[in-house]
Amino acid sequence: MSVETDLSEDERRSQKEIELLQLQADLTMAQKVALSELGHYGYDLAFVRNTLMGKLAIAMRNDKVMTIDDEGEIEPNPAITIRD
């Protein structure tokens, strides 16, 4: 059995929240502000991708994706592929 299957729903939710807080801690202040703005529209930080241009924050709401570069610029129609 995997450790994750042994965890309760609340424990799994807490783990995800901790992971997201750790990801958010690595964002620039500009990215945090932009992410907060997107949060008003239901977007959540999904993951952070390291690129040659810096960290790229990927925010999602359902199947809609937006990216935030390290300057805090939001790209509403990014040319990235999200794997399942």
Domain total in the chain:
1
Q: List the domain range (segments joined by +) for residue 31.
A: 3-75
What is the model's pLDDT at position 37?
97
Between vectors from CA 21 to CA 13 and to CA 43, what angle results, nearest 5°? 80
Q: In the chain, what are the helix, strand and coil shares in percent, each to the nearest 5? A: 40, 25, 35
80, part of any domain: no
What is the model's pLDDT at position 5?
59
7, part of any domain: yes
What is the model's pLDDT at position 12?
72
84, part of any domain: no
82, part of any domain: no
pLDDT digit string (tens) for the chain, length 84 residues = 445 556 787 777 677 777 878 888 889 999 999 999 999 999 999 999 998 989 999 999 998 999 999 999 999 999 988 877
What is the model's pLDDT at position 62?
92
53, part of any domain: yes
